[in-house]
Amino acid sequence: MEKQPFRISALMSIFLFQEDKEILLRRPKFYMPALLFLAAVLLDAAGCSAQTVPDFNGKQAFRYLVKQCDFGPRNPGSAGHKKAQAYFVKEFSKFTDRVRLQPFPFVNYKDNLRLTLHNVIASFGSQSDRILLAAHWDTRPWADQDPNPKNRNTPILGADDGASGVAVLLEIARNLKENPPPVGVDLILWDGEDSGREGHATEYLQGSRYFAQHKSPSYNPKFSILLDMVG
């Protein structure tokens, strides 16, 4: 079966999670500018006119979200964190051209925990013209904003803050496998992003900061989109 050229309505339907865990597909206003910009850049790079696009499969994306939550909290150092990382590598390997782990030193200052964490980097194509889509995959080690003080030292499950953005990227990867993009695409899952103490900004975003500080000087994507708490 001949593969369809990359067609731009991909990614346009975004899923919304309801309390009863039903899924509502919609096209949220806040998401449209970014997705239309992505569509315009890809079409321009391909020299294409208007094209149709396969619908984003919200049900499949939700399955990716549930799978992550089944691992439990994915805070650094936890069993769920280890299982999730292996799962991401396995899933991205099904769809993308190559997958690699980028190790970096991580510190949880509140608990005095030092670990080696990993950004998960999955890529399509070898073109020099590239775009970057990202989300963080770790979850917060403490529910410090919980209304119940008894829960504030408990790790969060992170269905929205963590799993939702990753679920979208996994579904995008599956879509791009069937609809090869005309430019290079890098899908990056940041680790160690959400373990900072309130009021200590430099303790957050450890994975993305390491990537930015250690990227090749020749790596300059045309643009980047960060997906965070999209549920």
Convert the pLDDT of each residue in 52-74 to its tens digit.
Answer: 566 678 899 999 999 999 999 99
**For 155-188, what is each residue's pLDDT tens digit?**
999 999 999 999 999 999 998 998 888 899 999 9
Share of the chain above pLDDT 90, in %: 67
Q: How far apart are CA 149 and CA 166, in angstroms?
A: 29
- Domain presence at residue 1: no
- Domain presence at residue 134: yes
Q: Which domain holds residue 188?
A: 57-226
Find tokens 């292996």 and name the residue: 86
Q: How far apart are CA 139 and CA 50, in angstroms?
A: 39
Q: How far is CA 127 from CA 102, 143, 144, 150, 172, in A?
A: 21, 42, 43, 51, 19
- Domain presence at residue 204: yes
Biggest CA–CA distance in the chain, Å, is 57
Structural domain tally of the chain?
1
- Domain presence at residue 139: yes
CATH number at residue 219: 3.40.630.10
- Domain presence at residue 174: yes
Which residue in 54, 53, 57 sits closest to 65, CA to CA?
Answer: 57
- Domain presence at residue 161: yes
- Domain presence at residue 33: no
β-pairing, 98-108 vs 113-124, is antiparallel
Q: How far apart are CA 73 and CA 173, in angstroms?
A: 24
- Domain presence at residue 164: yes
Query: Which structure tokens are listed for 34?
Result: 């970014």
**For 12-46, what is each residue's pLDDT tens digit?**
333 333 333 333 333 344 344 445 445 555 555 55
> pTM (2 decimals)?
0.81
Determine the pLDDT at residue 11: 36
Share of the chain above pLDDT 70, in %: 76
